Structures are given as structure tokens and as C-alpha cells.
Copies of this chain bind each other. A is one copy, B any other.
């Protein structure tokens, strides 16, 4: 269960409520994982049941009480084991590549539309990531390794999208050639 590990990772950086995690997945984690609240609350419950997290109830400042989750020592062990373990098996799932693979069925106009639409999305995501990198700190690997690693994951996303955009441009160039 990768999601449980990721949540443990966030809690190890800072104790959080389910709602805080929702926002974390909507910002810092967007480019490597996503989770909706139903999943988050369910996973928090199992983490507590397994003794990997514990709840500290804090009176809510505006509304219901906040169930702030902390990692327990056992949870920290599980997190570290995951980080150092063999790679998670992750079968590839890329619906866009799948479409291109079968797009011989499509006429030229529809194909160009498909690729341009994808290009627009990819550029938007890349720009968003670049903005995020510009806004946040670039820590030195030796002074703040944890922060440096977090900023490097952003870098990978930016390069990834850049390479993909270049590939889309090649496709378009071939399609538009006389």
C-alpha cells in the first residue's frame, strides 16, 4: 500500500489532519501522487489501527475538533523500511500513448487536434511546475538534504514534460509537412 507510506511520510514531516493531507496532495504531491479525501480518511484509520499513527484531538478554531495524526515510532520504522526496500512494481498506464498507438483510425485533422490538445496540457503542467520551483527554495544538498530531494523531484517532472513536449512537436512537424 503505497498511499499509506506516502501519508506516513507527510506525517513524519509534520503532524496533520485528514484535511491538511488533502491540501498536501493538492499541492506538494500533485506531480507524483493523488488521493481524494475518502481514501485519505480510510487510510488514516488503518494507520491508527495498525499502530503506525496516533491521534491527538485538538479543539477546532472554527468548526469541529481537529484529529491531528502523529507518526508513532513503529510507523517511523515502517516508513524507513519502505524507503529502502525493493522498488514498488508499477505497471505503466498512459492512456494518451495508447490513443496514439491506435490513432491510425483517425483522420489528419482529428489527429492534429488530439496532439495539440495534449501539448497544451503538457505545457500548462510544465509551466506550473516551473513556477512552483521558482517560488520555492533550492536548498543545498549538504546543508538541507531533505529539502534538496524534495526540490529535485520537481526537476524530474519539469524535464519529463519538456521531453514530452519536444516529442509532440516532432509529431506535429511530420503531420504538417507538405
Contact = CB atoms under 8 A, between A and B. Distances in A.
Interface stretch (A14-22, A41-49, A50-58, A89-97): A89-97
Contacts of A106: 80, 83-84
A103 B31 contact: no
Nearest to A163: B163
Identical copies of this chain, number: 2
Interface of A: 2, 5-6, 9, 12-13, 28-34, 76, 79-80, 82-84, 86-88, 90-106, 110, 113-114, 117-118, 121, 141, 145-150, 152-153, 155-157, 159-160, 162-164, 166-167, 171, 174-175, 177
Contacts of A87: 95-96, 117-118, 121
B159 A32 contact: no
Given A9-B98, A87-B95, 10 more contacts: A5-B98, A9-B102, A30-B92, A31-B97, A34-B93, A83-B103, A86-B117, A93-B93, A104-B145, A159-B167
B159 A6 contact: no
B94 A174 contact: no
Given A33-B93, A167-B155, A171-B152, A99 B118 contact: no
B98 A110 contact: no
A90 B83 contact: no
